[in-house]
A and B are shown apart, each in its own frame.
Chain A
Amino acid sequence: MDQAAIIGVGMTKIEANKAGDTFADMVWEAVNKALDDAGMTINDVDNVVTTSNDFWDGRTISCMAVGDASGARHKNASCVEGDGTFGAFYGLTRALSGDYGTTLVTAHSKGSESISSLITNAAFDPIYERAIGMDMITACAMQATAYLDRTGTTPDQLAMVSVKNHGNAKQNPLAQLPMDLTVDDVLKSEMLSDPLHKLDCSPVSDGCCAIIIANQARASKYSGRPVWIKGVSFCSDSYFLGDRDLARAPSLAQAAQSAFAMAGIKDPATEIDVAELYDAFTYQELMWLEAMGLCEDGKAGSRLESGDFHRNGRLPVNPSGGLLSGHPVIAAGLIRIAEIVKQLRGEAGGYQIPDARRGVAQGVNGLCGQSHCVWVLDRDNQEKEIG
């Protein structure tokens, strides 16, 4: 009863502007792909968790509008505002509760339809901070400054993350920005906010992802090959940027430690075969790697230089191309989970990591990584109880 698996995943192509699809069209596509993948029909779905954000959708109570395309009518449907990994966490607890055998989780956004800078500015405290005019890019640029200063990581090393991930995206037919880049290309791209160049930042994107979670009794009932959920945890830091040490990510460290412990993993740096991390900005991939214990503190930049995180390296990171190659917010973390499922099933095509057995996916919510959700997935199901 205490085991659960992901038995179906569905993703739209990530695009700069899906003019042909409304948000509901995208959800319809992803949900049907996930159902096909699992070998299920909508009647086999016991409950639905949607993930959306009113400002990105431009409508209030946005979760209710997305229900129709998710097949939620006349089902128990609930909603999470934030990244899709958090919606999936809620969906997992519902499947583990015993009340529902299967949960469909969706997450979508169309960044092309609004103005990200204004939406993320509104995440700042309206009384004390909003009038300054910061947004996600400027706040994360400030975090990047602090991280570079503390660790000695260089702008060249940040640029290498962009080169690697855009290059990986060339093998991923769903990625928005497959590109052949050099470090020089990144460093010569427009400086948006020091030290972040345009090519250090993920693009504005449209896309949707759906996954189906099943408890143990239902996980093998359908034709979809289950990937087992071995450890999950999330943790949040203080809200105000000035209350945190921006150069570190203690909430991620805590979430990762408890997710890995739940999965029985003692040394994640050697026991994890593939990672899909929340690289909304180049520096974040390096900072998150260190906080998760996948690499020594302050060393991610030099490990990247020596090839550790490339597709053929010690620990391939974002072989799909990551968020730098396509970043539909809200769906972003759920896509990381779906990509790990593909890897562990051996279905990742041109970016398949050979014999990937264990993987980790990460989602982020809030400014500068305030809150993190970490998923440890396994190809096989050893009998170890969750929680």
Chain B
Amino acid sequence: MADTLADVEPMIYESQISVPYSWWAGDTASRFFRSLRDEKKIMGTKCAKCSRVYIPPRKVCPSCFSENPEWTEVSDQGVLQSFTIARRQLASLPEKVPVILGLIKLDGADTGLLHYLDEVDQKQLRIGMRVKAKFADNRSGGIRDIEYFRPAK
């Protein structure tokens, strides 16, 4: 079929699917975001069966398939589990490259949180390094109420 192109320039039809969504955050994420915004506190949920603490908080423990009824505050400091430095300006990135992305396990949590790293020498980045949250000055109740994580002093 491709040989037809020898004579004819293919037509290109430009289009998009454009549908706005309004996501209900749900009561669990709402409480997490309210704590970030109003108190600069990072709150997780704890499984009644296995005691794992989930960040970001989930209503249900995916390991035990049972509810996480208890809220618990975790530290704003933790350990870098993995990272990457995005160097090409991929379409999904809202910030200018290089952007350092990390998975951070906060003290008191059992799961990692995806977020940014900044104020760090790229050569010093390593798995296991201690990092600390920097909260945004203007917080609106979203994941970016934490601005980024930086090396803990």
Contact = CB atoms under 8 A, between A and B. Distances in A.
Interface of A: 18-21, 25, 29, 58-60, 115, 117-118, 120-121, 124, 126-129, 131-135, 137-138, 141-146, 149, 190-196, 238-243, 246-247
Given A19-B10, A138-B101, A127 B26 contact: yes
Contacts of A142: 82-84, 101-103
Interface residues of B, number: 48
Given A20-B10, A241-B112, 18 more contacts: A58-B15, A60-B17, A117-B91, A117-B92, A118-B92, A129-B143, A132-B116, A133-B92, A134-B114, A135-B90, A138-B92, A141-B84, A142-B84, A190-B87, A194-B84, A240-B56, A242-B55, A242-B114
Contacts of B93: 117, 133, 135, 138
21 contacts: A19-B5, A21-B2, A29-B1, A117-B93, A124-B114, A126-B21, A127-B23, A127-B25, A132-B114, A133-B93, A133-B94, A134-B101, A142-B82, A142-B84, A145-B127, A192-B88, A194-B84, A238-B63, A240-B111, A241-B112, A243-B111
Given A19-B2, A25-B1, A120 B92 contact: yes
A190 B4 contact: no
Contacts of A60: 17
A127 B93 CA distance: 16
A246 B105 CA distance: 13
B99 interface: yes
Interface string B91-121: 1111100010111010000011111100000
Contacts of A146: 81-82, 127
Nearest to A17: B10
B82 A58 contact: no
A268 to B, nearest CB: 28
B144 interface: yes
A191 B87 contact: yes
A246 B103 contact: yes
Nearest to B28: A127
A242 B99 contact: no
Contact of A145 (B23, B54, B63, B82): B82
B29 interface: yes
Given A138-B101, A142-B103, A146-B82, A238 B26 contact: no
A246 B84 CA distance: 13
Nearest to A245: B81
B127 A132 contact: no
Contacts of B90: 117, 135, 137-138, 192-193
Contacts of A143: 82
A142 B125 CA distance: 13
B85 interface: yes
B114 A129 contact: yes
B152 interface: no
Contacts of A19: 2, 5, 10
Contacts of A18: 2
Contacts of B3: 20
Nearest to B3: A20
B116 to A, nearest CB: 7
Contacts of A239: 62
Contacts of B15: 58
Contacts of B17: 58-60
B142 A131 contact: yes
Contacts of B136: none
Nearest to B33: A127
A191 B10 CA distance: 33
A8 B144 CA distance: 51
Nearest to A135: B92
Contacts of A58: 15-17
A21 B1 contact: yes
A60 B86 CA distance: 31
Nearest to A137: B90
B62 A128 contact: no
Nearest to A59: B17
B99 A133 contact: yes
5 A-B pairs with the lowest CB-CB distances in the bound complex, closest first: A242-B112, A121-B92, A20-B2, A141-B84, A146-B82
Contacts of A241: 103, 112, 114
B112 A128 contact: no
A242 B17 CA distance: 30
